[in-house]
Structure 1
Amino acid sequence: MERSDYRGKRQIAGLVILFFKDSKQVSAVHTHFDRLHALLFLVKKGRVQIVIEQVAHRLYSGRPLLLPRGRNWFLRLSLSPIEMGIVGLDPKQLHGDTNRVFPRTLFQHWERQTRTIYLKTKELLWLFKLFKIHPTTPSPAHGIALRYGLYMLLWELDRLVQKENPLTSIMNTSGHFLVLQFMELLTRHYGSQHQVAFYAKRLRVTSDHLTRVLKNNTGRTAKYHIQQLLMEEAKVLLSGPRSIKEIAYQLGFNTPYAFSKFFKRNASVSPTSYRSRY
């Protein structure tokens, strides 16, 4: 049997992301979404047919499809090799989970009609960065990376659907791309690397440039993201059975004292007090 690459993500309330390469799975993907999800279909390779309210349409690479929620749909089995992603969004749940303002105009368009957006190849590849954050095991790191990737994706789509010219390019692609690259690196190395310089060097930019791009695109500095991620992971671990010493070394601190000092500075309580309270 052909090895499949078929993954679902639910780290954010109201969000389901699927990416698959096995054409045999095409006909079953609709079972992962419900009628409250507004849907974005992205084909990277191959062609597939979608049936919406008993009307057949073709999905092509470079032409993402926005489908309003409440529609009946299913994908027909593809006989050719395919790489495809689907994002399902429930706007009401998303607002509560992310604490961010999502583009109202985009969802207004999304609610009214099915719409195709025309993209250039490099822009489509940028959108697919969202699907490359695949957790081996769920963790706060991947939830944070997904939140920022989704947030930037929605605002860029909002700008595109408001333009009369269907060939309008995505703006700030390089800045957004760098943010997603940083988030990907962070999900892999936050347990051992806490310095902005490490991530800047891996991304071949200066620390100042990385911090400036993160600040402009997310409202927070690179240092803040590293510390926030460590704090979220530490709080999760403190709710489990591991000792504070084990948690300190797992998160890349040289000593339990260094971890305790970091935690107290950011949470205003020691790890021991946090564990006993929460």
Structure 2
Amino acid sequence: MTGTMRLKIVLILCCISAISGNDIYNQAWYSKLDSSKQAHYDNLTDDITSFLNGGDDSHRHDEYRGFGPVLLRTSFHAAGTFDHKFNKGGINGGTLQHNKVLEKSGNACIDIATDVIKVFARRNKISFADTTAIAGALALKSMDFPRMDLISVKGGRFDLDASHAGGPSDLPNAQVNPLQKFTDEYGFSTAEFVALIGGAHSLGAAHAVCTCYAGSFSDRPLSWAGPDFFRDLVDEEWTWYTLTTFDDDTITFTIGSEPDWPTGRGKREIQ
């Protein structure tokens, strides 16, 4: 092999590495970074990608091994902590790493992901806030999200202490109408809200020790399942259970009655 041929191969490999390493980033923002800062972000990307491909187990009750779904959930919950009334929270500030936020019921079991994110942030000298956003984008990429062309992550977020954490109603809960919250407070259209519900429940699984539901949302919890969540919701025959969890992670299921649906409308008719 000639020296010229070796040089060409090296250049090609470098180009491939650069493309795969920073393609989730907003290129206008990324190109303005100095080479040292670019290296930090590239190394962070490589670290998280290797971790996602390593098959680490995020929860022992899962039917799969992988951190993609919980990293994506964590990224969304970090953004969802923004309190519009008090102008606090959100992904900028990195407040999801603080116990004051993690202890909220809507963030149950997310600490397994925030612990990992903290390690990557410290190792690569990137803020927890930026690392959370980047981890969410890379999680989507690792699970074959078909529209990565829509993902354009900018960095530059900074971390704040726990005193800047959001207010009491950061995320939808049983007492808050989620459609109203996302349309009124976040400006979502109904179609966008439906897309959010379907997308969020096309990946990963729920755990009884964390939520009131247990099991994978689709047959492909580690890859984009398209509209499978909605198909299953409408087409499958569902048995309703009362779920009880105990401090030792023991879970019991008792067959229960079907919830009351809106008057005059069957469950298959609800759009």
TM-score range, shorter chain: under 0.3
Query: What is the TM-score with the length of structure 1 in the denominator?
Result: 0.27
**Normalized per residue, which structure has more strand?**
1
Query: What is the TM-score with the length of structure 2 in the denominator?
Result: 0.27
